[in-house]
Amino acid sequence: MEHTAIQSTSAKKHKPAQPFTREEFERVRRVLKKKVQFAQGDVAVAYGALLAGCRFFAGYPITPATETAEIMSRLLPQVGGTCIQMEDEIASVGAIIGASWAGAKSMTATSGPGFSLMQENIGYAAMTETPCVIVDVQRSGPSTGQPTEGAQGDIMQAKWGSHGDYELIALSPSTVQECLDFTIKAFNYSETYRVPVILLADGIIGHTREKIELPEYGDIQIIWRKEPTVPKAEYQPFADDGTKVPAMNVFGTGYHSYITGLTHAETGYPCTDSQPDHHQLVQRLCDKIRDNRKKIIMVERDYENSTRDETVGIVSYGVTTRTVYSAVKTLRQAGTPVNHLRIITNWPFPEQEVAELAGRVNRIIVPELNLGQVYHSVREAVDGRCPVTACGKIGGEMHTPREIIEAINGSAD
Amino acid sequence: MRTEIRLAAFGGQGIILSGVIMGEGAINDGKNAVQTQSYGPESRGGAAKSEIIIADENIDYPMVVEADCLVALSQPGYDKYASEVKPGATVIIDSDLVETEKHPTAGSFYQLPFTKLADELGNRIVANIVMLGSVCAITGIVDKESLLEAVKANVPAKFLDLNVRAFTRGYEIGEQALA
């Protein structure tokens, strides 16, 4: 996609995307049926998407993410949406980008092998500032690896998978309820910042069934993209209006649209040989996320009133957090003070939060279902304040609480 | 209190659905439940495992550490997990599919002909539901009515009657085994 340009002329009948009415929300709730359900993570993702107003899904089936596509294919038509099975994952992201520009909130879901293929168009979404949600139900890799086994091996790829400088947002759910809740948050972030948002689920939580409770109208905030209101002749589609997030000129509203992955000027037209223009554009794409890190980054802290010398730190994210909860209880009962920082927003990385933890503990352990990914980000943020130990596990099984306790006791030597 | 249940079989014997129904039954009881599963890429054959954690409180670690109850419907499933049960656990096997001496550490050990009973009901496919009925009677982990409600909610309407009969039959032989 070196130079994909789509030009729209005015389509008089088009209505720009409008926030959900209560009536529309209630319609989705009726389609989703019972308020309390025993559901899989993948299913909860689909429910979250529908409740957030997603009306377009394109995907290619892959274990362990297929159930999301199945539910979307069954339920989207019932709420007036569209679900397409594409020929592959490259096309899937292409389709959701197109749908987003046509005014629909859009999503795809995949696992590692598909996520690798999606990287090219994720970069395109970042460059063209296209709101969209990409669900990666991570499984063991590299390559096709262990299809039916969960993993947390795509954390770095989520941030660095496409080429060039860009920022995006990635969230890690640890329960089935969070699969629902964080999918709604993912849509809200993508609409607020006009950025692709990655939901970093995994094969374990994707296929785990748990009790979920569906929200009612008013329980949740639903955000829609900002659309232009200036006179059409004055509109500069990629100009900074002071927020670094321009109003989005959805196709068919009559505002001139020219979308390209090439470096573009504020008009949207390519300008590929000017250093200042490229710098201004890409710096803004990064800053619109970096400047808002405080609003975007979510963590959970469970800290004790203990001295630094006696306290050990654990940094966790995603499904591994649940093992850490168990391990922390046992450690505290045995008299070991523990400070646990759970990362919810993997990207942008919560550097300040990790650095602050490092000032309160004598060492940090990073359990994760890979051979060391977030470990590296933690070490960078800790910047020598205390030792950091990786505690990786691969092969499809979670750490047991005992394995984490042993890693902590072993790291004291 | 946290109760850990592990179901082991070949893929195709329906234990993942059994686990889902058991978890949903526990939810119907007003408890918390987590059901996880592992299976190979094959649609039939291969090892399948379904685990259910039931608790009044929040469930952190979602997997079985040491099972309070092991149900095995295949020889490899039994051989693999027989040693990973709590001392005094309840161990239940399909008597026609698993050959073993009495379990060494189980508090109670039951050999019941789930598959044969399903055949007698007219369709082997409901062996997993016969098993659920027996597990319900033997362990009492989930209330009978709550579990039956979950069975009804998770089977095709066309086979509702067959599944209800399978559950009832399983419950009966479970009660008999207890006596």
- Give me the CATH topology for the region B2-178: Pyruvate-ferredoxin Oxidoreductase; domain 3 (3.40.920)
Give A391's strand partners: A367
Contact A400 B35 (CB under 8 A): no
d(CA A314, CA A325): 10
pLDDT of residue B61: 97
d(CA A395, CA A373): 16
Nearest CB to A38 within list B23, B38, B62: B23
pLDDT tens digits along A316-365: 999 999 999 999 999 999 999 999 999 999 999 999 999 999 999 999 99
Which among A146, A170, A140, A137 has a CA at the least distance from the CA of A44? A137
pLDDT of residue B143: 97
Statement: residue A5 has pLDDT above 50: no
Contact A326 B61 (CB under 8 A): yes
Q: A299: which residues sit within 8 A by CB, 6+ positions away?
A: A341, A342, A343, A344, A345, A350, A353
d(CA B88, CA B81): 15
pLDDT of residue A166: 98
- Strand order through the sheet with A338-343: A299-302, A338-343, A312-317, A363-368, A388-392
CATH number 3.60.15.10 given to A298-411: no
Q: Token pair of B52, please?
A: 């259910």
Q: For the residues A218-236, what does the mean pLDDT come to? A: 93
User: Is there a shared CATH topology between the A1-296 domain and the A298-411 domain?
Assistant: yes
Which among A84, A87, A139, A132 has a CA at the least distance from the CA of A110? A139
Q: Checking DSSP bridges between strand A196-202 and strand A169-171, what pairing results, if any?
A: parallel
- Residue A151 and residue A136 in contact, taking contact as beta carbons nearer than 8 Å: no
Nearest CB to B65 within list A208, A210, A400: A400
pLDDT of residue A96: 98
d(CA A315, CA A353): 10
pLDDT tens digits along A50-74: 999 999 999 999 999 999 999 999 9
Q: For the residues A228-237, what does the mean pLDDT come to? A: 94
Statement: residue B110 has pLDDT above 60: yes
Contact B34 A325 (CB under 8 A): no
Task: Give me the percent of chain A exceeding a pLDDT of 70.
Answer: 95
Q: Per mean pLDDT, which range of A60-74, A101-115, A376-390, B41-55 is the poorest?
A: B41-55
pLDDT tens digits along B76-98: 999 999 999 999 999 999 999 99
Statement: residue A8 has pLDDT above 50: no
d(CA A304, CA A296): 25
pLDDT of residue B108: 95
b or e along A273-307 (b: 16 or more beta carbons within 10 Å of the residue's beta carbon)? Answer: eeeebeebbbebbbebbeebeeebbebeeebbebe
d(CA B55, CA A7): 57
* Shortest CA gap B101–chain A (Å): 30
Burial label for A371, CB within 10 Å (0-12, 13-18, 19+), is exposed
Question: Least CA distance to B36: which residue of chain A?
Answer: A208
Statement: residue A17 has pLDDT above 70: no
Average pLDDT, chain A: 94
Q: For the residues A110-129, what does the mean pLDDT come to? A: 98
Q: Checking DSSP bridges between strand B32-39 and strand A209-213, what pairing results, if any?
A: antiparallel
pLDDT confidence tier of residue B170, bands split at 50, 70 and 90: very high
Statement: residue A400 has pLDDT above 80: yes
Question: Least CA distance to B50: which residue of chain A?
Answer: A208
pLDDT of residue A18: 55
ipTM score of complex: 0.92
d(CA A110, CA A124): 18
Q: Which of A149, A174, A211 to mutate to test the interface with B (most CBs of B within 10 A)?
A: A211
Q: For the residues B11-28, what does the mean pLDDT come to? A: 96
Whole-model pTM: value is 0.94
pLDDT confidence tier of residue B104, bands split at 50, 70 and 90: confident
Contact A323 B61 (CB under 8 A): yes
Is the pLDDT higher at B40 or at A407?
A407
- Residue A282 and residue A164 in contact, taking contact as beta carbons nearer than 8 Å: yes
Q: B167: which residues sit within 8 A by CB, 6+ positions away?
A: B129, B130, B132, B133, B136, B147, B148, B151
pLDDT of residue A12: 40
Contact B65 A401 (CB under 8 A): yes
Statement: residue A311 has pLDDT above 70: yes
pLDDT of residue A413: 56
Q: Where are the alpha helices (DSSP H) in A243-365?
A: 275-290, 293-296, 320-333, 351-358
Q: Token pair of A132, please?
A: 């969209």
Q: Is A366 in a helix, a strand, or coil? A: strand
Q: A148: which residues sit within 8 A by CB, 6+ positions away?
A: A63, A64, A139, A203, A396, B38, B39, B40, B41
Cα A401 to chain centroid distance, Å, stands at: 27
List residues in chain B touching A: CB distance below 8 A. 20, 23-24, 27, 32-41, 59-63, 65
Contact A208 B38 (CB under 8 A): no
Task: Give me the percent of chain B exceeding a pLDDT of 70.
Answer: 99
Please write down the long-range contacts of A279-288, taking CB distance under 8 Å and 24 or more positions apart: A281/A238, A282/A164, A282/A165, A282/A166, A284/A240, A284/A244, A285/A126, A285/A127, A285/A129, A285/A165, A285/A166, A285/A167, A286/A165, A286/A166, A286/A167, A287/A244, A288/A167, A288/A193, A288/A194, A288/A195, A288/A243, A288/A244, A288/A245
What letter does residue A76 receive in the DSSP assignment? G
pLDDT of residue A237: 95
Q: For the residues B135-149, what does the mean pLDDT come to? A: 97
pLDDT of residue A9: 39
Q: Domain locations in chain A?
A: 1-296, 298-411
On chain B, the residues whose CB falls within 8 A of the CB of A401 are 61, 65
pLDDT of residue B45: 78
Half-sphere exposure of A328 (CA within 13 A, CB side): 25
**Which uninterrupted H or E stretch holds A171?**
strand A169-171
Q: Name the superfamily (CATH) of residues A1-296.
A: Thiamin diphosphate (ThDP)-binding fold, Pyr/PP domains (3.40.50.970)
Contact A204 B36 (CB under 8 A): yes
Q: Where are the alpha helices (DSSP H) in A76-140?
A: 89-101, 112-128
pLDDT of residue A329: 97
Cα–Cα separations (whole angstroms), residue A313 to A287, A297, A369, B53: 30, 19, 18, 28
